[in-house]
């Protein structure tokens, strides 16, 4: 399942599971091949799993590529090693290479972290996830006997194989819901007890740590009947980060888009896209609508950018800089509906920013709302080359026309 | 007529002594809103100067509601305290009056705080929450009107169109579109872009259905969740007035949050395309370009026999 919120690696998730008393196998986090071999020796398990650590899912079915040549290095980002030699081979093929999975995007992710985990005798693989159900205003627990496979596929083909339960608003499952879920998974005896205990701990962890998603795929029933979390995919609600200072240490900056972090620091919300028309808009909905209308009139948006309600000259200059860093950008549409933000302030900021960043692509500005006439006057009286328009449709058409025929 | 607020609504401001609270209490009063007081814990007994009036600050919502008999509270407190402020307002309105409207403007409230909050309020039939992370609600009047939120008041005018939207500035765009074709509004509601929130599209549609002055509704959705699909299905069976709909985010890539916490296509679900087709299936008149909402609205009103061609 794709993630929402602040993500952590599997090895970090498993450390949390250990703290919370959720059963996991012994494992060691490594960043070098030597460490991986030491880990193998220390685990004392003949069979181990050698697991690439990136935030995107689908690692097992992903492929590793050499970052320099682009050659295929190895198929599968999660390997079962039956010997010390295999641990060495797999670790070499993983560390420092690019892992491309279904969820990583075609550019993939450089693997800098590895997790070596003791092997486990598997009687059956299950699926278990906790997430926020926005329609029911509750935490949803989903479980299935079809573990180790893509849950979206299960949902598509055999929805009856997915069992669901919801917490109340305080984050507690109704009495008996854990037993009922264990029954529907066909668990009995020690496995049922083990599952109920794990589910209880996961629900309380979800609440106490402000998670937005916890997914265990697969959750396994071991040979002795115990339930073990063989994977962990945990995301946190970023809005609650203020009460969880421990999260800061878990952040892996190499997994985040540097430009998006930089935008965020200036109060901007930015997402890079593949088109050639940059957008600078106030408000998330209007920013999306601006992208949509550009596309509607035959253009391709280069980004989503919401300058936010507290925008000022500095943040608008940063915004222009970020848009123009993208070499694909051949024109910019500014769409501002002034409310608290005044269009004349934005106009002056645009003029300053264009000088500062050396604006050289066509610029179309649409102002509406607070001080839109003053804003237009400021732009028209300046030496800046700019087309001013009255509506979003006119703006989109003007910027599309101005960028058509420009070489990519 | 209008829904939920009108010119006689008495409004409290939670967080009135903060920068945002004072700024917006001032703007609201200028528009004509009857701001009767505010709440900031520890600052009870102070007065806040607003245009043409000074209003008292109370330590608690209990005191504020008891003393002022307010009907509405608007919340401008920081995210980490906002859920507690909603609960305090709900308890005060529920105990003292049995009813009340709470409008939470604050963005960035933790999801689990909101789940607890919604659970608490759901036990109180007379309490309605709008938001969080929303621009608020406005009912334009003959002279001014009642504005509870951060929207620019002057772009609105009294009229016969209801507006419901998840977004802030896109709501203003929709308002401007109605104005461009000579239509005003009964009430405009920004329900907010968070995954967990109070009032939804269906609550608003049900209220507009019962409001005799509202002749048509403009509904603005965005990617993420299934609120638009649910509202469309409900409207097909229960809503008799014309609806013009737009959904933002047709070009948004999957798995990426587009500014609003809830605006994300997750596992291929919540796309603009699904929502547009749910709208069409329910007989909602769609505008693919928000600059055409006015045009579509006019043709829909004429088609419904509500305006002369």
Of B168, B193, B251, the CB nearest to A292: B251
Could you report the per-residue pLDDT of B174-183, keeping only the tens digit for each? 999 999 999 9
| Distance separating alpha carbons of residues B157 and A190, to the nearest angstrom | 68
Residue B256 has pLDDT above 90, yes or no: no
**Helices B61-68 and B79-96, axial angle in degrees (round to 10):** 40
Stated as kind and residue range, the H or E segment containing B50 is: strand B47-50
Exposure b/e, A32-45, CB count within 10 A at least 16 = b: ebebbbebbeebeb
Token pair of B66, please? 């008891």
Concerning whether A215 is annotated as a catalytic residue, the answer is yes
Strands (E), B105-250: 127-130, 136-140, 145-149, 158-165, 185-190, 216-222, 243-248
Q: In whole angstroms, give the CA distance from residue A126 to residue B129.
A: 40
Return the SS3 of B169.
helix
Cis peptide before A218 (omega within 30 of 0): yes
Size of interface A-B (CB pairs under 8 A): 181
Among B176, B196, B254, beta carbon nearest to A368: B176
The string of DSSP codes covering A263-277 is HHHTT-EEEE-SSSE
CB contact under 8 A, A4 and B292: no
| A304 to B115: CB separation less than 8 angstroms, yes or no | no
Per-residue pLDDT in tens (0 to 9) along chain A, 408 residues: 656 678 999 999 999 999 999 999 999 999 999 999 999 999 999 999 999 999 998 899 999 999 999 999 999 999 999 999 999 999 999 999 999 998 888 899 999 999 999 999 999 999 999 999 998 999 999 999 999 877 878 887 888 889 999 999 999 999 999 999 999 999 999 999 999 999 999 999 999 999 999 999 999 999 999 999 999 999 999 999 999 999 999 999 888 888 988 998 999 999 999 999 999 999 999 999 999 999 999 999 999 999 988 899 999 999 999 999 999 999 999 999 998 889 999 999 999 999 988 888 999 999 999 999 999 999 999 999 999 999 999 999 999 999 986 544
* Interface subset of A 80-109, CB within 8 angstroms of B: 103
Mark yes or no for CB contact A284/B259 under 8 Å: yes
For chain B, the maximum distance between any two Cα atoms, rounded to a whole number of angstroms, is 59
Burial of B110 (0-12, 13-18, 19+ CB in 10 A): buried
Nearest to B291 among A138, A288, A393 (CB): A393
- B251/chain A closest Cα distance in angstroms: 5
H-helix or E-strand spanning residue A99: strand A98-100
Sign of CA dihedral B50, B51, B54, B60: negative
The answer to whether B115 contacts A271, with C-beta atoms less than 8 Å apart, is: no
Nearest chain A Cα to B265, which residue? A2
Chain B residues within an 8 Å CB radius of A138: 115
Contact state of B108 with A239 under an 8 Å Cβ cutoff: yes
What residue ranges define each of the domains in chain A, with the CATH number in brackets? 26-118 (3.30.1490.20), 122-249 (3.30.470.20), 258-403 (3.40.50.261)
Q: Look at residue A3 in the predicted model and tell me its pLDDT.
A: 63
pLDDT at B32: 96
Helix axes A189-208, A177-184, angle to 10 degrees: 130
Pairing assessment for the beta strands A277-281 and A331-338 based on DSSP bridges: parallel
- Any bridge partners for residue A80, and if so which? A49
Residue A73 tokens, joined: 């290095």
A338 vs B226: CB contact, 8 Å cut-off? no
* ipTM score: 0.92
In DSSP notation, A284-336 reads HHHHHHHHHHHHHTT--B-EEEE--TT--HHHHHHHHHHHHHSTT--EEEEEE
CA distance A288 to chain B (A): 5
Average pLDDT, stretch B15-37?
96
- Closest CB to A392: pick one of B109, B260, B290: B290
pLDDT digits (tens, 9 = 90+) for B117-173: 999 999 999 999 999 999 999 999 988 899 999 999 999 999 999 999 999 899 999
Segment 246-305 of chain A within 8 Å of chain B by CB: 269, 271, 273, 281-289, 291-296, 301, 304
pLDDT at position A2 is 59
Q: Which of A272, A273, A269 is nearest to A281 (CA)?
A: A269
Q: How far apart are CA A382 and CA A152, in angstroms?
A: 55
Q: Where are the beta strands (DSSP E) in A354-395?
A: 363-369, 387-389
Count other C-beta atoms under 10 Å from residue A251's C-beta: 15
Q: Do B259 and A304 touch (CB under 8 A)?
A: yes
pLDDT band at B257 (very low <50, low <70, confident <90, very high): confident
Partner residue facing B264 (CB), from A4, A339, A394: A4
pLDDT in tens, B212-228: 999 999 999 999 999 99
Say yes or no to pLDDT of B194 above 60. Answer: yes
Q: Catalytic site residue A330?
A: no
CB contact under 8 A, B251 and A370: no
Q: Any CB–CB contact under 8 A between A138 and chain B?
A: yes
Pick the closest to residue B161 from B2, B4, B17, B292 (CA basis): B2
Rounded to a whole number, what is the distance in Å from the CA of A382 to chain B's nearest CA? 27
How many CB atoms are located within 10 Å of the residue B216 CB? 22
Give residues 333 to 362 of A whose Cβ lies within 8 Å of B. 337-340
B251 C-beta neighbours (distance < 10 Å), count: 22
B113 pLDDT band (50/70/90 cuts)?
Answer: very high
SS3 at position B178:
helix
3-state class (DSSP) for residue B205:
helix
Instruction: Please give the C-alpha separations between residue A207 and each of A156, B83, B102, in angstroms, as whole numbers.
Output: 29, 16, 26
DSSP state letter for B265: -
pLDDT at site A340: 83
- Inter-chain CB proximity A337 and B248 less than 8 Å: no
pTM of the model: 0.94
Q: Domains along chain B?
A: 1-132 (3.40.50.720), 157-309 (3.40.50.261)
Q: What is residue A155's predicted lDDT score, i.e. its pLDDT?
A: 80
Q: What integer pLDDT is reported at residue A405 of this predicted model?
A: 60
Q: Residue A395 is encoded by which pair of tokens?
A: 């703006």
Question: How close, in Å, is residue B67 to chain A by CA atoms?
Answer: 31
At residue A407, the pLDDT reads 45
Provide the token pair at A311. Answer: 């925008």
Mind telling me how many Å the CA of A10 is from chain B's nearest CA? 19
d(CA A147, CA A218): 5
């Amino acid at each position: 399942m794709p993630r929402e919120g602040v993500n952590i690696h599997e090895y970090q998730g498993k450390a949390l599971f250990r703290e919370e008393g959720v059963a996991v196998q012994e494992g060691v986090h490594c960043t070098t091949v030597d460490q991986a071999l030491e880990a193998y020796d220390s685990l004392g398990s003949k069979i181990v799993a050698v697991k690439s650590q990136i935030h995107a899912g689908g690692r097992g079915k992903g492929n590793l590529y050499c970052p320099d040549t682009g050659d295929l290095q190895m198929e599968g980002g999660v390997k079962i090693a039956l010997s010390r030699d295999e641990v060495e081979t797999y670790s070499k093929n993983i560390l420092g290479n690019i892992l491309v999975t279904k969820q990583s995007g075609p550019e993939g992710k450089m693997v800098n972290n590895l997790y070596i985990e003791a092997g486990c005798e598997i009687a059956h693989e299950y699926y278990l996830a906790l997430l926020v159900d926005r329609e029911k205003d509750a935490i949803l627990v989903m479980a299935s006997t079809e573990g180790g496979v893509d849950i979206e596929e299960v949902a598509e083909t055999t929805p009856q194989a997915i069992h669901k339960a919801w917490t109340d608003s305080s984050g507690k499952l109704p009495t008996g819901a854990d037993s009922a879920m264990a029954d529907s998974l066909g668990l009995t005896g020690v496995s049922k007890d083990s599952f109920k205990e794990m589910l209880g701990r996961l629900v309380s962890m979800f609440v106490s740590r402000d998670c937005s998603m916890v997914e265990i795929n697969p959750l396994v029933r071991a040979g002795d009947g115990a339930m073990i979390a063989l994977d962990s995919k945990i995301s946190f609600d970023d809005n609650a980060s203020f009460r969880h200072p421990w999260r800061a240490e878990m952040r892996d900056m190499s997994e985040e888009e540097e430009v998006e972090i930089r935008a965020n620091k200036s109060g901007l919300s930015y997402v890079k896209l593949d088109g050639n028309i940059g957008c600078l808009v106030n408000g998330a909905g209007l920013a999306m609508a601006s992208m949509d209308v550009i596309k509607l009139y035959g253009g391709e948006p280069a980004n989503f950018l919401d300058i936010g309600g507290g925008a000022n000259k500095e943040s608008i200059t940063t915004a222009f800089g970020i848009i123009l860093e993208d070499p694909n950008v051949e024109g910019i549409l500014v769409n501002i509906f002034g409310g608290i933000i005044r269009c004349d302030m934005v106009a002056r900021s645009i003029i300053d920013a264009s000088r500062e960043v050396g604006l050289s692509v066509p610029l179309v500005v649409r102002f509406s709302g607070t001080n839109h006439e003053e804003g237009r006057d400021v732009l028209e009286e300046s030496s800046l080359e700019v087309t001013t328009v009255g509506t979003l449709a006119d703006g989109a058409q003007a910027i599309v026309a101005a960028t058509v025929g420009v070489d990519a | 007529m209008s829904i939920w607020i009108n010119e006689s609504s008495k409004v409290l401001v939670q967080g009135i002594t903060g920068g945002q609270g004072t700024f917006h209490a001032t703007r609201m009063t200028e528009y004509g809103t009857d701001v009767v007081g505010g709440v900031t814990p520890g600052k009870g007994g102070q007065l806040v100067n607003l245009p043409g009036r000074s209003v008292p600050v109370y330590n608690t919502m209990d005191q504020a509601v008891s003393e002022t008999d307010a009907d509405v509270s608007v919340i401008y407190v920081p995210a980490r305290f906002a859920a507690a402020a909603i609960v305090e307002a709900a308890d005060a309105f529920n105990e003292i009056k049995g009813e009340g409207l709470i409008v939470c403007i604050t963005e960035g409230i933790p999801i689990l705080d909101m789940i607890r909050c919604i659970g608490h309020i759901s036990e109180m039939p007379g309490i309605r929450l709008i938001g969080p992370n929303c621009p608020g609600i406005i009912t334009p009047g003959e002279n001014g009107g009642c504005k509870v939120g951060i929207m620019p008041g002057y772009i609105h005018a009294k009229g016969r169109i209801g507006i419901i939207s998840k977004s802030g500035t896109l709501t203003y765009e929709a308002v401007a579109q109605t104005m461009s074709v000579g239509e005003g509004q009964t009430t405009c509601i920004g329900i907010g872009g968070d995954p967990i929130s109070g009032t939804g599209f269906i609550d608003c549609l049900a209220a507009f259905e019962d409001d005799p002055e509202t002749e048509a509704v403009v509904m603005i959705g965005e990617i993420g969740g299934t609120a638009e699909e649910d509202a469309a299905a409900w409207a097909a069976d229960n809503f008799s007035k014309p609806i013009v709909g737009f959904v933002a985010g047709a070009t948004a890539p999957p798995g990426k949050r587009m500014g609003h916490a809830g605006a994300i296509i997750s596992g291929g679900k919540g796309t603009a395309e699904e929502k547009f087709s749910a709208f069409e299936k329910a007989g909602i008149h769609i505008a693919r370009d928000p600059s055409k909402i006015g045009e579509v609205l006019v043709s829909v009103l004429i088609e419904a026999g509500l305006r002369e061609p």
